[in-house]
Chains A and B, each alone.
Chain A
Amino acid sequence: MRLSEADSHALAGAPAAPSYLEDGTTVMSWINTRDHKRIGVMFLVGVIFFFFVGGVFALLLRFKLLQPGPFFIDAISYNRLFTLHGVVMIFLFLIPSIPAAFGNFVIPLMIGARDVAFPRLNLASFYLYVIGAVIAIWGMVHGGADTGWTFYTPYSSTSPTQVAPILLGAFVLGFSSILTGLNFIVTTHTLRAPGLNWMKLPLFVWGIYATSIIQILATPVLGISLLLVTVERIGGFGLFDPARGGDPVLFQHLFWFYSHPAVYIMVLPAMGVISETVCAFCRKNIFGYRAVAYSSIGIGFVGFFTWGHHLFVAGQSTFVGGAFGLLSMFVGIFTAIKVFNWVGTMYRGAISFKTPFAYICGFLYFLVFGGMTGIALATTSLDIHWHDTYFIVAHFHFIMVGASVMAFLAALHYWFPKMFGRTYPEGWGLVAATLIILGFNATFIPQFLLGNFGMPRRYYQYPEHFQALHVASTAGATLLAFGFLIILIYLAIALKYGERSAPNPWGSKGFEWMTASPPPTHNFDVIPTITQMPHDYRTHEPSGVIRVA
Chain B
Amino acid sequence: MSHDAAGLPEGIVGHHFSSLARQNEAMVLGMWLFLATEILLFAGLFVGYSVYRYQFPLAFAEGSRHLNLTAGTLNTVVLITSSFTVAMAIHFARTDRRIAAAVCLAITILFALAFLGIKAVEYTEHFHEHALPGKFYAFEKVMIPGAAMFYTLYFLMTGLHGLHVIAGMSVLSWILWRTLQGRYSSRYHTGIELGGLYWHLVDLVWIFLYPLLYLI
Contacts and interface: CB of A to CB of B under 8 A. Distances in A.
B51 interface: yes
B156 interface: yes
Contacts of A527: 18
Interface in B18-62: 18, 22-23, 25-26, 29-30, 33-34, 36-38, 40-45, 47-48, 51-52, 55-56
| Most A-side CB within 10 Å, residue of B34, B146, B149 | B149
A235 B134 contact: yes
B129 to A, nearest CB: 18
B33 A191 contact: no
B48 A250 contact: yes
A244 B52 CA distance: 12
B9 interface: no
Contacts, number: 121
Contacts of B127: none
Contact of B134 (A190, A237, A253): A237
Contacts of B81: none
B190 interface: no
A236 B135 contact: yes
Given A185-B33, A244-B135, A245-B145, A217 B152 contact: no
Contacts of A116: 16
B16 A119 contact: yes
Contact of A235 (B29, B133, B146): B133
Nearest to B39: A220
Nearest to A236: B135
A250 B134 contact: no
Contact of A228 (B29, B44, B135): B44
| Most A-side CB within 10 Å, residue of B30, B36, B51 | B30
Nearest to A215: B37
Nearest to B153: A239
Contacts of A224: 41-45
B48 A239 contact: yes
A216 interface: yes
B37 A238 contact: no
B15 interface: yes
B136 interface: yes
Nearest to A527: B18
A316 B15 CA distance: 54
B44 A225 contact: yes
Nearest to A217: B40
A253 B48 CA distance: 10
Contacts of B26: 117-118, 186-187, 189-191
Query: What is the interface residue range for chain B against chain A?
Result: 35 or more
B14 interface: yes
A189 B155 CA distance: 39
A185 B29 CA distance: 9
Contact of B29 (A190, A219, A241, A254): A190
A232 B41 CA distance: 17
A329 to B, nearest CB: 25
Contacts of B37: 178, 182, 216-217, 219-220
A253 B40 CA distance: 14
B55 to A, nearest CB: 7
Interface in B133-169: 133-136, 145-146, 148-149, 152-153, 155-156
Nearest to B148: A244
Contacts of B41: 220-221, 223-224
A246 interface: yes
B34 A182 contact: yes
A153 to B, nearest CB: 12
Interface in B120-137: 133-136
A216 B30 contact: no
B149 to A, nearest CB: 5
A247 B149 CA distance: 11
Contacts of B146: 245
Interface string A170-194: 0000000010001101110111000
A470 to B, nearest CB: 39
Nearest to B40: A220
Contacts of A238: 133-135, 148-149, 152
A284 interface: no
Interface string A211-231: 000001111110111001001
Contacts of A186: 26, 29-30, 33
Interface of B: 14-18, 22-23, 25-26, 29-30, 33-34, 36-38, 40-45, 47-48, 51-52, 55-56, 133-136, 145-146, 148-149, 152-153, 155-156
11 contacts: A114-B16, A117-B16, A118-B30, A182-B33, A186-B29, A191-B17, A216-B33, A219-B37, A239-B152, A244-B149, A245-B149
Interface of A: 108, 113-119, 121, 178, 182-183, 185-187, 189-191, 216-221, 223-225, 228, 231-232, 235-239, 241, 244-247, 250, 253-254, 522, 527
Listed from nearest, the 3 A-B pairs whose CB atoms lie closest are: A224-B44, A237-B134, A236-B135
